[in-house]
Amino acid sequence: MWLGLPFRIPHSALRIGTMTQPTAIPIGRVVATEALPSSAHQFHFWTATDTAIGIGAIVRVDGPDGRVVHAVVVDARAYSDLMTPLHDVLAAEGDPAGAAAPTRRTEIRLWTANVLRQTPEEPVQPVPLSEVRLATADDVEVALRMDGYLRGERPSGIPVGLYSAGGVTSPIFVDADFLLGPESAHLNITGISGLATKTSAVEFLLSAIFQHFPAHKGRVAAVCFNVKGPDLCFLDQPAQLTEAEQDMYRQLEIDPQPFEKVSYYAPYRPDGVNLNTLRSCPELVGSVEPLTWGLREVLDYHEVLLNRDDVDAKADAFIDFLADRVVEKEFDDDWGGKHRVRSFSDLERLFRAIFDGLEGQGRSDMWRTHHIATIRKVRNRLLNISVRCKGLVTDDGGVSDLPFGAFEDRRVYVLDVAGMDQLGQDLVFTRVVSQLREHLERRDLGVEHVVVFVDELNKYAPQDGPETYVRKMLLDISERGRYLGLVLFGAQQFRSQVHRRVVGNAGTVVFGRMDLDELATPGYQVLSPATKLRLATLPKGELMVRHPHFTQPVFLRFPRPAVLNGRGGVERFPPSPDVSFADAVARQLAQLDRGIAPARVKDLIDGRREDDVRRALLATRRARPRPRDILGFFQSKLPAAVPRQNAERPGAGTHAVVRPLEDPYAD
Amino acid sequence: MPTEPLMNPVPTRARLREALRAMGASLSAGRLASNPIAPIQRPHAPAAMVEHDRIRAIPVRPLPPPPVVGFLDGIQRYSHEGNLGLVPVLRAHVAAMVQLREDGRLRVRAKVEKDFLVAPVARLTPAQRDRLMGLGLPVHESRAEEMVHPLVDRQRAVEEIERAREAIEHAAALQFVSDCPDFLLVVDGAIGEYPASWRAVGVAKSHETQFLSGPDLEVALTLPYGTRTSVFARTGSAGRKVHTWYLRLWPWEGEDLLYGLVRVERNADDESMAAATELSGWLLSERTPLSSPDGRWDRLLYPIHAVEESLRAQAGSWA
Ligand SMILES: Nc1ncnc2c1ncn2[C@@H]1O[C@H](COP(=O)(O)OP(=O)(O)OP(=O)(O)O)[C@@H](O)[C@H]1O
Ligand SMILES: [Mg+2]
């Protein structure tokens, strides 16, 4: 049994033969002494030594005056009538191996329970010294105040798992109004790697939300940042579930199916044609959309690039100048050059013109009120990103992005950034979340609610360390997202390492198997030692959940997600090694039209600039409606053929930068 | 500096004990006390040798007890509620319980209890008697003497309460014996009142009545730890003969003569005599668990203690 106790029906229940309703029989009695009194929030009770309850079990006390108290067991003690350990030594004459005592001492199982709810709620009074019964499924509903949102005109329960104790199993629901706003929002999950089932719990929860989010609350989508290996790469593939797991799904009224609508996005590798994802198996890679941004997309989020240094108002001002006055505008440098900057290459041309101009001019270090050092710094930062995020940032302005404005109800958008470096991840994260935010503010995203899942939250919103733009943004979602429908689901191994205001604003908090050192940090002081021990030994698939409606945390169990996990995914769909430029292009076109022969594609692109090919390929992939003649369309997007001798060496594309930067951070 | 007294000095406690030891005494714990000792009702009673001609000490080794055994004990409580003129009226509660031990676990098998009033009924007016009887509790006659004496009158009433407790213990034992005739029943005290057909074992820990005398008594009361005496017989009420012997449960050196000393009683038959060493052996293993914090833990078997604790807990703050 999941409580960690062997499952046993209380003897009394067996004797009377009421196994279906074991709770009709008291299993314990409240005791109170001056030293250990019953209070309005906590009480103590004893049971037979042979009992089905354990830490986390929900119980019910009926007072003589009709008062009903529901509570959860948080601690337990056992002791005998032995006065002092010395008496045991004396009786055994100092020999622990001596003959066993013929009589077992009278002993007690003394439990401590924290009150979940009292009915009536007023006046608040100490728990009566009455009999204790195990909660029935109905009791669990009342105890956790779920009756308030499961019944009535507009139910808003989302199943999160099964509570079970003493033979009673009942589904636990959280309130959508408190999970996805507006009352409260956000979910945070903590626990040690591999055992806490954090990622799995979020996947399961997303299915629960998609299947149970009430229609009257509108449309909901999820944006998941895949930051670790193949974790979220197979959300559309079914998992093999056992009969027991399927039964759990039945009890939770969730259809154990993979996500029906999933969109995958991944940047390219530096070669600009192979996608940087572990979902690269030929069978699946066709469903991965490239994520490519141009200069404009990057410039708009230049704060991300600058936040690693001390914030520099001068650099900021110069970037603003570029964004407002230069990019995509006719622009005259002061030396007769005309520029229309659309890409990083264009930008580099402008910078060269400025530097050359200033040099020719002699002594001046200023250009249009900007110091040359600032200009150099900004140039280095911007061009640096085009190097480090070569597969994300296109040199030529080709953009392939999430469908902001056309988000679909119950669709998951997975951004696979696992293969990107930190700077690129920060940039993707910042831009995507900012876009979501802006669209939600304008109410034109396509859905009213978006769950943003960020794994390894400690990396993006650390408690310590410098103030970064990403962390500021996570704080902003945490504090204001619920009014917008922008909901953060965050996961991390150590909650204590995540910014206090980020975890503090999560309305729903979930714990899987925990590390004892982490449990010793101040954030867990409210938990009883027994609860901590249980957290430190939780098996896979069991969680402790805090939710605004639950006065006390509740232990529950959820089934493995119905989707293929990362490890299973790469086994079933092994990632394919990167292929040559020509093969990659041929393969991508073949995905659009199976009839296209690779040899024809290779002939067509032979001798052409890779940039041109990439641009044509992107245009073909993104053409809507999809062209009937894929190859013809592709060909039409290629510039007229150039003689071979003018072509660059294969593999040395000028995709992003004009020339490599020796020290990207040098001013 | 005063000089040493010339004559025999008053011995210090240490010197006294040293001298006693030198004379071959066994030294007691020497605890200080100031309470008078209550008068002993029946200091002596006759006995007959059974096992040997003279009492001897026989070594005993701890043995595992039988797997299933019953344990009986009883409690009494009373309060002096008032006086009708000089006639005392007491209210009493007596209860007895048998717990059966199986696999080391004790479970209640029989319980009998009774609440009643005690008064020298003969001294009441008919009207008083009717009023008392009408209260809904049985009224016991306390058998007081004719001469009124407030303390003696009360003592007689308390004696009646003790008799009632014995009766109730008897009733509990009867319940157990009719339910489980095959199991031994260990009772706290004597078994002289029980029919010989019951498989009762008495463990007496108060030694108010002495059955032996002379060297026999000395052997019995200075019995070394881990030995029993020869079996002898005493006569119970109604002329019933009972086999009995002493057994020392704990080393008594440095303590009193009676420390750790119990007197075991069995039916007077050949079987009980043959089994005296074996029975003593398992009583020896009953020393653990210790029945502390009870002050009589050196003689009180834990299961008997546990039965008594249950009775007390169930009587609660009887009032
Ligand atoms: N409900 C469940 N019951 C039993 N096992 C489960 C359940 N959910 C997930 N698991 C198993 O537990 C393992 C770890 O799950 P998961 O990857 O979700 O953990 P995690 O906490 O996200 O780990 P990490 O910190 O390494 O990312 C997986 O092998 C998965 O199959
Ligand atoms: Mg994970």
Binned at pLDDT 50, 70 and 90, residue A19 comes out as very low
pLDDT digits (tens, 9 = 90+) for B236-287: 777 789 999 999 999 998 889 999 999 999 999 988 888 999 999 999 999 9
Final residue of a structural domain among B142, B164, B182: B182
Which pLDDT does position B31 carry in this prediction?
81
Q: Do A99 and B285 touch (CB under 8 A)?
A: yes
CB contact under 8 A, A99 and B292: no
Q: Is A196 in the pocket of ligand 1 (CB under 6 A)?
A: yes
> Within this chain, do residues B92 and B104 fall inside the same structural domain, yes or no?
yes
Containing domain of residue B165, as a range? 74-182
Asked if residue B236 and residue B207 are part of one domain, the reply reads yes
The pairing of strands B68-84 and A288-290 is unpaired
Confidence of residue A298 (pLDDT cuts 50, 70, 90): confident
CB nearest B288 (choices: A81, A83, A91): A91
pLDDT (mean) for A511-521 = 94
CA distance A53 to A59: 9
What's the A198 CA to ligand 2 centre distance in angstroms?
Answer: 5
Is residue A198 within 6 Å of ligand 1 at its C-beta? yes
Q: What percent of chain A has pLDDT over 90?
A: 55
pLDDT at A7: 32
Are B137 and B275 contained in the same domain? no
Let me know if residue B305 belongs to a domain: no
Task: Among the bound ligands, name the one nearest to the CA of residue A202.
Answer: 1
Say yes or no: CB of residue A164 within 6 Å of ligand 1. Answer: no
Task: Establish whether residue A370 lines the binding site of ligand 1, counting it when its CB lies within 6 angstroms of any ligand atom.
Answer: no
Q: Are residues B123 and B219 in the same domain?
A: no
Query: Ligand 1 pocket, A189 CB below 6 A?
Result: no
* CA of residue A286 to ligand 1 center, whole Å: 28
User: Which of B126, B159, B182 marks a domain boundary?
Assistant: B182
pLDDT digits (tens, 9 = 90+) for A623-651: 888 889 999 999 998 887 655 444 444 44
Domain annotation covers residue B30: no
Task: Compute the half-sphere exposure of residue A306: CA atoms within 13 Å on the CB side of its CA.
Answer: 22
| Domain boundaries A174-291+404-571, corresponding CATH code | 3.40.50.300
Final residue before a domain boundary, out of B149, B182, B215: B182
Which residues have a Cβ under 8 Å from the Cβ of A89 and sit 6 or more positions away?
none
Decide if A101 and B288 are in contact by the 8 Å CB cutoff.
yes
Has residue B192 been placed in a domain? Answer: yes
For the whole model, what pTM was predicted?
Answer: 0.82
Instruction: Out of A99, A100, A103, name the one closest to residue B302 (CB).
Output: A103
The C-alpha of A103 sits at a distance from chain B's nearest C-alpha, in angstroms, of 4
pLDDT higher at B243 or A166: B243
* Most confident region among A112-126, A651-665, B228-242 by mean pLDDT: A112-126
Q: Per-residue pLDDT for A569 more than 70?
A: yes
Q: Is residue B18 a part of any domain in this protein? A: no
At residue B129, does pLDDT exceed 80? yes
More confident residue, A404 or A623: A404
% of chain A beyond a pLDDT of 70: 91
Ligand nearest to the CA of A204: 1
Domain count across chain B: 2
CA–CA dist A108, B191 (Å, integer): 33
Q: How far apart are CA A392 and CA A298, in angstroms?
A: 10
Nearest chain B alpha carbon to A106: B306
Mean pLDDT is lowest, of B28-32, B174-178, B207-211, for B28-32
Is B143 domain-assigned? Answer: yes
Lowest mean pLDDT among A136-140, A608-612, B59-63, B252-256: A608-612
| Mean pLDDT, range A598-626, rounded to an integer | 86
For A208, the 3-state DSSP assignment is: helix
Asked if residue B60 is part of any domain, the answer here is: yes
Q: For strand A58-62 and strand A168-175, is the pairing parallel, antiparallel, or unpaired? A: unpaired
Dihedral sign (CA B13, B19, B20, B25): positive
**Would B105 be classed as within a structural domain?**
yes
Instruction: Tell me if B4 is assigned to some domain.
Output: no
For residues B187 and A157, give the distance between their C-alpha atoms in angstroms, rounded to a whole number: 63
B interface mutation test: which of A89, A103, A129 has the most B CBs within 10 A? A103
Question: Measuring CA to CA, how many Å separate A356 from each of A20, A33, A353, B49, B182?
Answer: 88, 89, 5, 132, 115
Helices (H), chain B: 13-22, 126-133, 150-179, 214-221, 270-274, 276-285, 302-315
Residue A595 burial (CB < 10 Å; 0-12/13-18/19+)?
Answer: exposed
pLDDT score at B8: 67
The closest alpha carbon to A515, from A191, A199, A194, A56, belongs to A191
Report CA(A225)–ligand 2 centroid distance (Å): 12
Helix (H) or strand (E) holding A158: strand A157-165
Distance B241 CA to ligand 2 centre (A): 82
A-B C-beta contacts closer than 8 Å = 52
From A90, A98, A99, residue closest to B290, measured CB to CB: A90
Q: Confirm or reject: Cβ of A191 under 6 Å from ligand 1.
A: yes
Question: Does B85 share its domain with B178?
Answer: yes
